[in-house]
Structure 1
Amino acid sequence: MPETVKKTIARTRAEFTGEPEEGAFAGVPRDGSLGLDTCLREQRALRALVALGLFNRRGLGEARPPSRWGLHTLVAYDITMSPRYNRLVLLTNAPHNVAPYLLPSNDGGSSLPGLRLEEFRGRRTYVARHLPTGAEPVITGNPSGTWSASRRPSPRSDFYSVDEPLSASERARLDEVPVLSADAECLLAGLATRIATQDPRGRWAIGNWFSDPLRRPGRLNDGSEEWYGKQLWGSVDRWRFWWNGFPYVDDVAASLTAPRIGISGATWRRVGDSVDVRLGTATLSLYGRRASFLRTVGRSA
């Protein structure tokens, strides 16, 4: 692909994702897409697990097992996903605060089961490895979305390293995750990579599942615990996602199906009180608040 074409695609991608153009450029694949869903199989599996961790929290009926991972707290941080073909890069202005929510350590707190610190680069970058999938996530505070080649000791010495095998507790937690079909895995992975996306024309925004960057009228969250409740659960091809508060359900559907930014082949349609996003044989039913004054964009079935 000519560099000029790749730069044009990167600029379009950055308009949707909020990435710096340098980071967006690194994520543009050869297939001409924006690259949010073009990745290794192990990356897709990792991203689906991240989605289950982010989008399960007490407050909506029975708490599902991934709510115990504690990843849902990450939505309180300003995180921009910069998905690449062979890694998932999390851009944040607080990498030393975000890393402890993902990396297991001796304190036994929040973590993604099976994640290990591979190396610390420069002063603000954690390069990790997920043992069960083999996928590489990176947490960096560098606005460019790139990082130094120089290795340094980690600011925290108690993060589990790649030499630490998967524990029995981690195996048990991962065994609680239902089987996902390939299409369902792609839909869940798409939720994770789009947490900070928004339409350049201001028609929808995800806002890190925390606040509306478009500052539209109305208040979707009163600050109570229940209003932050989320539940993403299902098995094989059939998944359901309930949440209270922001974002609007139409916005989430648009982020997954709209031209350019959406998952290739994904469509949506309203079914009763849900918005169903479909990809191949898989269906992700979305249950959230609707904004009647918004025009939904995306590919409808």
Structure 2
Amino acid sequence: MSLQLSARNEDNASAKEQARVFHQMLAAIEAVREKRQEEYRARHHPQLKRFTQQELNDEVCPTYKNWLIGRSQRLPSRSTLMVIADYLECRLSERNDILLAAQYLPEQPGWEGDALRQALEQAQLTMETLPYPAIVVTHTLQVHAANELFLRLMELPSLDTLPAHQRTILHFLLNPKFRANAMVNAEAYTMWQQHVLYAIRHFKQQNALYQYDAWYQQFVKRGYGEVADFQAFWEKANEVTRQEVAPTKMVFARMPTTGELLPIRVRNMMISVSSKTYPAVAALLPVDEAARTVYAALASAPS
């Protein structure tokens, strides 16, 4: 009898704990839903979302109304919560609030603070050992450092002279000088377009959980307003697959001794410096003899 009583007490305690976690999770979802509803109270949502309980139930979670009235208190799967978070357009912090409330592990953001500074320092040290054009880049495609060979190859000024928001791979690919060089012939132009599209697609994939965060929204807004054809590339990028991107890049590089633009082929190599993919060192390895010749000339050219 005592064993049965003990087991019953344990079951009751477990049920109470599950109910507590369930209500904690539901409160976290409702807090975000009400916040998002308030944000769009005075303006129309692009997709006409109203963020009501009924809409959430109808669009993404058919059991949501049952949760609200207490008909069901079964904790949903992590994937279900991620779908709800997508519907609610959660910033990363809001998504993690919901996951933690349901006692799931949160999504891990990139390095921040001291850890990020240390990783960037390590990446820069690695970059400086390479005999190839190379940069230090983060998951936002922000370029934090570039060696002299890279700046010369891309015909860029020192990074310190560029506004912070323009120190990105996308800005470098879309800058007028690089674009003009790519228009020398049809093959180069096609490859340039492919690489721009793939870079945008990669950015979207790497930062899918950040797409409603302020920095992401600002990045897109600046791109639309400041970079030619950014909107067209941004909207088309989802149609691109990795297989459509050439394994090598064609770049028109200026021979420093003659000023002649030469087509060279290079291959991108990524080097991670920590347990996370980013920050990383991105280096352009020479593929053909023309690239090796240009690299040697750039390396020996006076500063």
Q: Would you tell me which structure has more helix in proportion to its own residues?
A: 2
| Structure 2 length-normalised TM | 0.26
Q: Which has the larger radius of gyration?
A: 2
In terms of fraction of residues, the more strand-rich structure is 1
